[in-house]
Structures are given as C-alpha cells and as structure tokens.
Amino acid sequence: MNLGLGGLFWVVLQRDLMVAMRRWSDICNPVIFFVLVVALFPLALNPRAEFLRALAPGVLWIAALLAALLSLNQLFRADIEDGTMEQLLTLPYPLGLVILAKTLAHWLVTGLPVVVVAPMLAITYHLPADAIGILLLSLLIGTPTLSLLGSIGAALTAGLRQSGVLLALMVGPLMLPVLMLGARATDIALSGDDPTGPLYLLGALLALALSLAPPAAAMAIRISAD
Amino acid sequence: MWTWFFQLASPPHFYRMAASLVPWLLWPALLLILVGAWGGLVLAPADYQQGEGYRIIYVHVPSSYLSMMVYVTMAVAAGIGLIWRIKLAHAVAASCAPVGATFTAAALITGMLWGKPMWGTYWQWEPRLTSELILLFLYFGYMSLRSAFNDLNQSDRASAVLALAGVVNVPIIHFSVLWWAGLHQGPSISKIDAPSIAFAMLWPLLVMILGFTLFFLGILAMRVRGEVLEREFHSRWAQDVLRGVSRVEAA
C-alpha cells in the first residue's frame, strides 16, 4: 500500500481515534479531573461571586494544565508496550509526522473536551460572557501547545515503568509560558482591556511548538524504543 | 587539529589532562574571588540609595549569570553528544546539571536576602527571581529524568533531548515572565539593574564573574573526571587508575 504523507497522517489519526473510542475512560478521565480541580477552589476558598470571578482565569487554566499533564502518560505508552511503535518506526516516512498525528489525536480526545467543558465551568465562576469567549479562544490556541510540548516528555518517558510525577516535573516548567499567556489573556478580557496581544503570542507559541516539538518527540521516541 | 580533538574526547586522555588542568583553574579562581570580594566589600563605596545592602550583588550577579551559562553549556554539550555520539560530551552534560542547580539556588537565596532590605520582604514575584525559580525546576526535571533510566546510553540521549528542549524554552520563559511581571507592577523593579554603575563598583563585579566562571570550570573538570571514571569503571585504564590509587593509600 502506498500512502502519501497526508494519507499516512490521516491513517494514524483515524487509528488513534478509533483506539481511544474503544477505551472510553481514557477520554472521560481528564475531563472529570478538570471539573474536579475547578470544583475544589470554591470549596476550599470562598464561594463569593466577585472573589471567584477574579480567580476564574487562573483556576481554569491551572486545571487545564494539570489535566493535560495527567493525560500525557498514555500518549505513547500503549504503542510502545504492544509493539505498534516499532512498526511505525520502520515506516519509510518521517516519524515526526506520525508523532504529530498521534499528538493531534491525543489532543482531540483529551484536550478538546476540556476546552468544551471550560465555558460551563466558567459560568459557575460568574465569569462575564465576553471573558468566557476569550477563555475559550485562549484554551483553544493554548492546549494544543500543551499537548505538543507534552509529547516530547511523553516520548522521553514512554519506556519507563514509573513516569507520572517525573513527566509532570519535566514538562511542567516548559508549559509555564502558555499558562501565563492564556490566563493573562482571560484576565485582561475580564478587566475590559484588549487581549489580542497575549492571544497572538499564544498563537506564536503554537506555531513554534508545531514545527519543533514533533521532530524532538520523534528523536525521543527512537531513544525510548531502543 | 582533529587528532587533538579526538584525543581530547577519549576518556583516559581527558582524565589525565583534566587532572593537570584543575589547579590552573581553581587557584586563579580563588585569587580572583578574593580580590573581587576585597574590592567589592571593602574598596567599593556604599550605594547612596541602597547603602551597604547592595554588596550582595558580588555574589548574586555571578551566580545568576552562571546559572544561565551552565544551562547553555549543558545543552551544547548534550547536543554535541547527541549528534556526534561523543561519550565525553554526555559526561560533561551530566556533570553540569548539579553545579548549575547549585548556582541557581545560590542566585535565588542571595536574591531573597537582597530582597529583604530592598523590598521589605524575602520574596517578590519579580521577573528575575521568578525566572531563576523556573530555571531551578528545569534543572530538577533534567536531573530526575537522568536518574530515571537504568541504561546509561538511553539516559544520556533522553536527557540530551530534554536539555535541548529546555534551552529553546529558556528565552521564551524569560520573556514571558518579563511580560507577565510588567503587567503586574510598575517599572519600580528596575531598581535592581542600576542603569549605570560606577567603575569602583563595577570592576570587582567583573573580577568576581571571571573568578566564578573559572571556579565553575575547575569544579566541572573535577566532576567530569569522576563521571568518566565511574562510566568507564570496567575498562582497563579505569581499573589501572583505581588500583594505582589504592596502592598509594596502602603504602
């Protein structure tokens, strides 16, 4: 069978989505975790409306980051354990493309649900509608970057038995700029100013991660699969 | 030229050469640090705004400068090791990490001590301190990844990828922290980077930076020696070295 590059991308994407659909809990767990973390803050702190409103951008972004970190563990692990990755390594195609397709599938399965749920949770934090729009937009641009950065860490630790905390420790600091920009964009919108600046910067980070992360993760996968 | 390069990259040769190099690095480092400390603590005048408190820059600035430099050195060494598969380069990268983390911690602690008289509090979410804190996390991530593997070769290459990913991120982190801090507080924070500095204050600082750099290189040479010896433990030359040491100790 002869596939073009686009064809290969599409096949890997479809396959990963199908595998994910068959393991429903993989899709649900990150979102449930996201909702849980967001629900912790009013319980632990103070459920007053104006207080929560000020807290909302940061809390929602932190929860999204934690959910992304938590889900990363599964990104390449199953493929390495059942030998799929070895088959993919032997393909006469750039491995970075395969990684990109897998990361996109992973984001569609774990990141996108978080983005979709976020506005509803923002309402419980009494966030005004225009700030919710910016929150949605910033998460939509920012969480793929988180997945891409995470793919490097997931690839590095895919061969290790225990990697949960290690993965978070490694990738967490790399994700901080996305967190700062995303939360701040929402915060700026909340205070009525123009948030296009940080949104553009988030977009720039996404472009950078799209071009640099897949080859780095491909190199890391080669090392892990050794 | 190339034979010299390959000789340098051979562990036994490096082990011998570094041994003779260490005193040439550490003694001048000690001398420069003493001169710099004397110049900074005794000769330089007190700052008219910050009084005597500013003198901690003579430790703080070299530490924070090295905390970044060591990370770059580590990433360059890791990249060389990854691309040309030079084992010695991986040993250098591995040896850099704890030293760099220590400089980062030193920069953080001195920054906090400086913050107490300047801001009235040990910690401000000020861009430089925040960047240093994140840098410390990057070092911790690197070191814990390195220690997570059983296979040395895998550990070397995996941590090299992480170091390279980190070094691409360091400027991004730095500028986003600057941007983030700029939103929260006015330009009052620039009190720290005195825009122009008197020569009497400047020269001890430069001497200290040079002294700290030589100190780092000396410590690095010592650490790489130990690292190389540990990695080549089963090889003939390492056994010879170790036996030689034990014979001297027995005598």
pLDDT tens readout for residues A25-63: 877 889 999 999 999 999 998 888 888 998 999 999 999
Kindly state whether residue A12 falls inside one of the protein's structural domains. Answer: no
Residues of B in contact with A166 (CB under 8 A): 144-145, 148
Task: Examine the pLDDT at B176 and tell me if it is beyond 90.
Answer: no
A170 → chain B, closest CA residue: B141
Residue A74, domain extent? 25-224
Kindly state whether residue A145 falls inside one of the protein's structural domains. Answer: yes
More confident residue, B178 or B246: B178
**Residue partners of A147: CB distance under 8 A and separation at least 6:** A68, A72, A103, A106, A107, A110, A111
- Report the alpha-carbon distance of residue A163 to residue A153 in Å, rounded: 10
Tell me, yes or no, if A177 comes closer than 8 A to chain B by beta carbon. yes
- Report the alpha-carbon distance of residue B43 to residue B39 in Å, rounded: 5
How many domains are contained in chain A?
A: 1
- Report the alpha-carbon distance of residue A154 to residue A72 in Å, rounded: 6
B181 → chain A, closest CA residue: A180
Kindly state whether residue A133 falls inside one of the protein's structural domains. Answer: yes
Supply B101's token pair: 């983390």
Kindly state whether residue A17 falls inside one of the protein's structural domains. Answer: no
* A226 with B154: Cβ contact below 8 A: yes
Q: What is the pLDDT of residue B184?
A: 57
- Report the alpha-carbon distance of residue A5 to residue A178 in Å, rounded: 30
Are the beta carbons of A20 and A27 closer than 8 angstroms?
yes
Are the beta carbons of B208 and B62 closer than 8 angstroms?
yes
The per-residue pLDDT for range B11-67, each reduced to its tens digit, is: 888 888 888 999 999 999 999 999 999 998 888 888 777 778 788 889 999 999 999
Minimum-distance CB partner of B145 among A162, A170, A173: A170
Kindly state whether residue A193 falls inside one of the protein's structural domains. Answer: yes
Tell me, yes or no, if B181 comes closer than 8 A to chain A by beta carbon. no
Residues of B in contact with A179 (CB under 8 A): none
The per-residue pLDDT for range A144-183, each reduced to its tens digit, is: 999 999 999 999 998 887 777 899 999 999 999 999 999 9
